[in-house]
Structure 1
Amino acid sequence: MTLSNKKANCADHIDRISNLPGNVIDGILKHLNIQELVCTSLLSRKWRYVWNTVPELGFCEEFFCRFEDIDDPSPEICRIITEVLFQHNGPIYSFTLDIPSLSNILITAEYFNKLILFLSRRGIKDLAIFNYGLFSNKMPSHVFFCQELTHFWFAGFNVSVPPNFCGLKSLLVLHLQNNTYEFGALETLISGCPLLKKLRVELFGDMKSISLKKAKNLIDLRLTVNQENVSGLIISLPNIQRLTLDSDCDKMLYADIISPSHLISLKYLKLRFVNLDERGELLYIVSVLKSASNLVELVIEINDINGEQEPDQLEELECKSCCFSQLQTVNIRVGTTNFKHAMSLIRLILANSSSLKTLAFRVDFGHEKLDPAVLLSISRKLLLMERASQRARIEFSHRE
Structure 2
Amino acid sequence: MAQSIKKANHVDHIDRISDLPGNVIDGILKHLNIPDIVSTSILSRKWRYMWMSVPELEFCYECFSRFEDLDDPGPEISRIITEVLFLHNGLIYKFTLDIPFTIKTEYLNKWILFLSRKGIKDLELRNYARIDNKMPSHIFSCQELTHFRLSGFKLSVPPNFCGFKQLLDLCLDLNTYEFGALENFISCCPLLEKLSMILFGDMKSVCLKNAKNLIDLRLMVELKRASGLIKSLPKIHRLAIDSPFCNTLYADMIPPTQLISLKYLKLSGVNLDEKIEVLYIVSVLKSASDLVELDIKNYDDDHDDDDDDGEQEPDQPEQLECNSCCLSQLQTVNISVGTSFKHAMSLIRFVLANSSSLKTLTFKVGFCYEKLDAAVLLSISRNLLRMERASQRARVEFLQP
Q: How far 1:136 moved relative to its partner?
A: 4.8
Matched residue type, 1:332: I
Do structure 1's residue 338 and structure 2's residue 364 form an aligned pair? no
> Who is 1:204 aligned against?
200
> Who is 1:56 aligned against?
56
> In the aligned structure 2, how far is the partner of 1:237 from the partner of 1:365?
32
Deviates more, 1:315-324 or 1:79-88: 315-324
2:388 aligned residue (381, 386, 389): 386
Q: Are the structure 2 counterparts of residues 392 and 312 from structure 1 closer, same or farther at C-alpha, using a change threshold of 3 Å?
A: closer
CA contact (8 A) 1:145 1:168 kept: no
CA contact (8 A) 1:166 1:192 kept: yes
SS in 2 for 1:66: helix
Do structure 1's residue 324 and structure 2's residue 320 form an aligned pair? no
Q: Are the structure 2 counterparts of residues 259 and 304 from structure 1 closer, same or farther at C-alpha, using a change threshold of 3 Å?
A: same
> Who is 2:6 aligned against?
6
Q: TM-score, normalized by length of structure 2?
A: 0.95
Q: Are the structure 2 counterparts of residues 242 and 274 from structure 1 closer, same or farther at C-alpha, using a change threshold of 3 Å?
A: same
Mind listing any 5+ residue stretches in structure 1 that lack a counterpart? none
> Who is 1:368 aligned against?
370
> In the aligned structure 2, how far is the partner of 1:2 from the partner of 1:317?
90
Q: How far 1:77 moved relative to its partner?
A: 0.3
> Who is 1:269 aligned against?
265
> Who is 1:26 aligned against?
26
SS in 2 for 1:96: strand
Do structure 1's residue 307 and structure 2's residue 303 form an aligned pair? yes
SS in 1 for 2:349: helix
> In the aligned structure 2, how far is the partner of 1:209 from the partner of 1:32?
40
CA contact (8 A) 2:223 2:246 kept: no
CA contact (8 A) 2:269 2:298 kept: yes
> Who is 1:353 aligned against?
355
> Who is 2:180 aligned against?
184
Q: How far 1:108 moved relative to its partner?
A: 1.7
Mind listing any 5+ residue stretches in structure 2 that lack a counterpart? none
Q: How far 1:312 moved relative to its partner?
A: 4.6
Matched residue type, 2:400: H
SS in 1 for 2:361: strand
2:397 aligned residue (380, 395, 398): 395
SS in 2 for 1:274: coil
Aligned positions, number: 394
Q: Are the structure 2 counterparts of residues 369 and 174 from structure 1 closer, same or farther at C-alpha, using a change threshold of 3 Å?
A: closer
Q: CA RMSD in A?
A: 1.6
Q: TM-score, normalized by length of structure 1?
A: 0.95
> In the aligned structure 2, how far is the partner of 1:136 from the partner of 1:325?
52
Q: Are the structure 2 counterparts of residues 368 and 45 from structure 1 closer, same or farther at C-alpha, using a change threshold of 3 Å?
A: closer
Q: Are the structure 2 counterparts of residues 37 and 93 from structure 1 closer, same or farther at C-alpha, using a change threshold of 3 Å?
A: same
Do structure 1's residue 92 and structure 2's residue 88 form an aligned pair? no
SS in 1 for 2:399: strand
CA contact (8 A) 1:317 1:344 kept: no
Do structure 1's residue 166 and structure 2's residue 162 form an aligned pair? yes
> In the aligned structure 2, how far is the partner of 1:39 from the partner of 1:17?
15
Q: Are the structure 2 counterparts of residues 24 and 377 from structure 1 closer, same or farther at C-alpha, using a change threshold of 3 Å?
A: same
Do structure 1's residue 224 and structure 2's residue 220 form an aligned pair? yes
Give the percent of matched residue pairs that are identical in Structure 1 and Structure 2. Answer: 68
CA contact (8 A) 1:362 1:396 kept: yes
CA contact (8 A) 2:130 2:153 kept: no
CA contact (8 A) 1:317 1:348 kept: no
Matched residue type, 1:52: M
Q: How far 1:6 moved relative to its partner?
A: 0.6
Matched residue type, 1:326: Q
CA contact (8 A) 2:244 2:268 kept: no
Q: Are the structure 2 counterparts of residues 367 and 92 from structure 1 closer, same or farther at C-alpha, using a change threshold of 3 Å?
A: closer
Q: How far 1:228 moved relative to its partner?
A: 3.3
Q: Are the structure 2 counterparts of residues 369 and 13 from structure 1 closer, same or farther at C-alpha, using a change threshold of 3 Å?
A: closer
> In the aligned structure 1, how far is the partner of 2:198 from the partner of 2:76?
32
Matched residue type, 1:12: D
> Who is 2:67 aligned against?
67
> In the aligned structure 2, how far is the partner of 1:72 from the partner of 1:223?
35
> Who is 1:126 aligned against?
122
Do structure 1's residue 293 and structure 2's residue 293 form an aligned pair? no
CA contact (8 A) 2:209 2:234 kept: yes
Deviates more, 1:71-80 or 1:198-207: 198-207
Q: Are the structure 2 counterparts of residues 72 and 134 from structure 1 closer, same or farther at C-alpha, using a change threshold of 3 Å?
A: farther
Matched residue type, 2:177: Y
> In the aligned structure 1, how far is the partner of 2:132 from the partner of 2:389?
53
CA contact (8 A) 1:41 1:47 kept: yes
* Runs of 4 or more above 4 Å deviation: 308-312
Q: Are the structure 2 counterparts of residues 365 and 27 from structure 1 closer, same or farther at C-alpha, using a change threshold of 3 Å?
A: closer
Matched residue type, 1:330: V
